[in-house]
Structure 1
Amino acid sequence: MRFIAILAAASVGVALASNSQEEPSNWSFPKSDIAPGNNISSGSVGTSLFDVQEHFTPTNSSGSISVVPRGTKTYVAGLRATPGGNSFCSASLISPTHLLVGTHCIAANIRWASIGSHFVNGTQDGEQIKIIAILNHPRTSGFSNDFAILQLQKPSSFRPVALASAGDSDVYDGQEATKMGWDDTGGVDTMAYELMRQDVQLISNTKCMKEVNVDESMLCSSGSVNETSCTGDYGGPVVVERPNGDVLVGTVSWGADCGKLGYPSVYSRVSSVRTWIDSIVNGVCFH
């Protein structure tokens, strides 16, 4: 099976170039012609577009937005062009050697994952592991089935997050969930220095479709005050927190004008592709 990374907005193939001896021969690695400094169309992400707010302090009277306590959500990864550079997307560790992310994130110059890191850049904590291959979901189209799996050069020592069941039993209308990333909630193209979390309430697709068009591969949360999904959250985890461990139910995908008040935030629904994820993680290729 040939693995190819595809731009979500332009459907242009990109992947990684590397001289590593550990790269498997059945993955393809054409060199990306997309540099971090290039302008990238709507729905895509480029590293140079973001300003890191190193002294950002969340100001939210509702208390729903806060800094993640350091070392508590180590399955969250930042995607970077260099080991210590700025993370321009978030991802989730789903096996020791695989990350789950949205396809719109791979438009940028992905080379490294910083797993378990609290900060948007630097190498002072976490693990910086090279990304050696990218696989899009075979039915990715626009933001439908907005999933990509990244393969790591070596296993991470951190514990992967549990995945939502294929039967969707982990999600219901009114379910409380938490999304994470380096979004500072200050608007488009700004990043927080520390990993942030935001509590959200999931809603049914029927309710969501009163405001935006969604399909069965998508999951929504209500468009309440202070709820946003912006630059630093893209691709990041949406989890249901449980006493025995977090369950990954979605990845941040899109929203109206960076979480415009009154409009839902939309995520990619993990349960809808659980069989595909298992097939890749377990080494079975689906075409």
Structure 2
Amino acid sequence: MFYYQMLMAVQLCFTVAAAPEPIETHAKVVGGYPVGIDVVPFQVSIRLRYYEELEFGSGHMCSGSVISQRVVCSAAHCFAENDTYPAQYRDPENYVVVAGSSHIQSLNRFSEVYLVQEIIGHERYHPYTLENDIALVFLNSFIPYHHFIIRSLPLASAAFPPGTFCSISGWGNVYRELHQAIVPIQDQRLCSFIYISLPKSQICAGYLSGGVDACKGDSGGPMVCNGHLTGIISWGVDCGKVFFPGVYTNISYFLNWITKVNSSLDYEKYLRMRGLNGVGPLMLPTIELYVICSVLLMAMIKTIY
């Protein structure tokens, strides 16, 4: 056992020495394969609203997972304003969420674009260690339970054992198409050895041989094990690098925090969002749309008859 640890330590030293960058965030899926949104109907694209209003698809910067009719779970570092501790989070009106679409730059008739009413990042998120890298995004509209495409994803209540194969997905590739890859969860002791120390709030997954991983372009995306949201794509060393599995926020560790924050949200409250750069809101809350459509329909009926 001692010789095995010495060998691992030597390999780690040489690998670290060769690594061009110590930490990568905003991950994309590498070594994966293209999929449609119907395969991952819970996945959403989180975008900077300013750029989206200039050109649709240009604002994508992170991913997230739908976990309720109005809540998306993502990574805190996607919304942190700077590298100070405690973290300050950007104004929610700076973001939009696009759901139900396989491609970054196109929509289909079932796609939805949501404004963001509130962002609740973990109060103990640390920008240097990326511990507690979790945030909840409260939408300014609701997703119908029986939406044709968009679905919520149940949360993992406990950590899965090492060797469990899980899926990761995201749009962060040169073609801006949704990709998915399969990675195995690694033993927590091995992860702590590789990264010197890895807290229980984080898990690592991937192949020690490298080649399949998350990398630049899609942080906040889901790691799904046995149909449950188990991890949030958070950080890693380079992209698919040998001996360095990707690091994910451990959802089961934050169940109480998620429950507490979710219970504090007012699901019946909808804010009228202001426009940016003189441009009006991308969409109104769904309830308001129903009211407007009903009024217009009644007016048309009266006009006909």
Query: TM-score normalized by structure 2?
Result: 0.65
Answer 1 or 2: which has greater strand percent.
1
Gaps of 5+ in 2: 1-22, 82-89, 145-149, 267-305
Residue 59 of structure 1 deviates from its aligned partner by 9.5
Structure 1 residues 224, 44: CA separation in 2 closer, same or farther (over 3 Å shift)?
A: closer
Mark the structure with the bigger radius of gyration: 2
**Residue in structure 2 matching 1:145, options 122, 132, 146:** 132
Gaps of 5+ in 1: 1-41, 53-57, 185-190
Letter in 2 for 1:283: S
The answer as to whether partners of 1:120 and 1:192 remain within 8 angstroms in 2 is no
How many Å separate the matches in 1 of 2:217 and 2:209?
19
Greater Cα shift, 65-74 or 207-216 = 65-74
How many pairs are equivalent?
217
The answer as to whether partners of 2:30 and 2:211 remain within 8 angstroms in 1 is no
| 2:67 aligned counterpart, secondary structure | strand
Residue 107 of structure 1 deviates from its aligned partner by 4.1
| 1:248 aligned counterpart, secondary structure | strand
The answer as to whether partners of 1:93 and 1:160 remain within 8 angstroms in 2 is yes
How many Å separate the matches in 1 of 2:107 and 2:189?
43
Matched with 1:197 is 180
The answer as to whether partners of 1:112 and 1:131 remain within 8 angstroms in 2 is yes
**Residue in structure 1 matching 2:213, options 221, 228, 252:** 228
Letter in 2 for 1:98: V
2:162 corresponds to 1:173: yes
Residue 284 of structure 1 deviates from its aligned partner by 6.7
Q: Please show how residues 197-276 of structure 1 align to structure 2 within 5 Å.
A: 197-212=180-195, 213-222=197-206, 223-241=208-226, 246-276=227-257
The answer as to whether partners of 1:44 and 1:105 remain within 8 angstroms in 2 is no
| 1:95 aligned counterpart, secondary structure | coil
Q: Deviations over 1:243-280 (max 9, x none)?
A: xxx20000000000233222111000000001111122
The answer as to whether partners of 1:76 and 1:117 remain within 8 angstroms in 2 is no
Query: TM-score normalized by structure 1?
Result: 0.69
Q: Deviations over 1:149-169 (max 9, x none)?
A: 11100012332101010xx2x
Q: Please show how residues 63-74 of structure 1 align to structure 2 within 5 Å.
A: 65-74=32-41
| 2:178 aligned counterpart, secondary structure | strand
**Residue in structure 1 matching 2:141, options 151, 154, 161:** 154
How many Å separate the matches in 1 of 2:168 and 2:183?
7
Q: CA-atom RMSD, angstroms?
A: 2.6
Matched with 1:164 is 156
Letter in 1 for 2:68: S
Structure 1 residues 59, 240: CA separation in 2 closer, same or farther (over 3 Å shift)?
A: closer
How many Å separate the matches in 1 of 2:235 and 2:181?
15
Percent sequence identity over matched residues? 26
Letter in 2 for 1:211: I
| 1:277 aligned counterpart, secondary structure | helix
Letter in 1 for 2:180: R
How many Å separate the matches in 1 of 2:114 and 2:143?
8
How many Å separate the matches in 2 of 1:202 and 1:233?
19
The answer as to whether partners of 1:43 and 1:104 remain within 8 angstroms in 2 is no
How many Å separate the matches in 1 of 2:170 and 2:240?
14
How many Å separate the matches in 2 of 1:204 and 1:240?
15
Letter in 1 for 2:34: V
How many Å separate the matches in 2 of 1:231 and 1:261?
17
**Residue in structure 1 matching 2:103, options 96, 103, 119:** 119
Letter in 1 for 2:219: Y
Residue 67 of structure 1 deviates from its aligned partner by 1.0
| 1:197 aligned counterpart, secondary structure | strand
Q: Deviations over 1:99-157 (max 9, x none)?
A: 11111111488410011221123333521101121111122113101001111000123
Matched with 1:55 is none
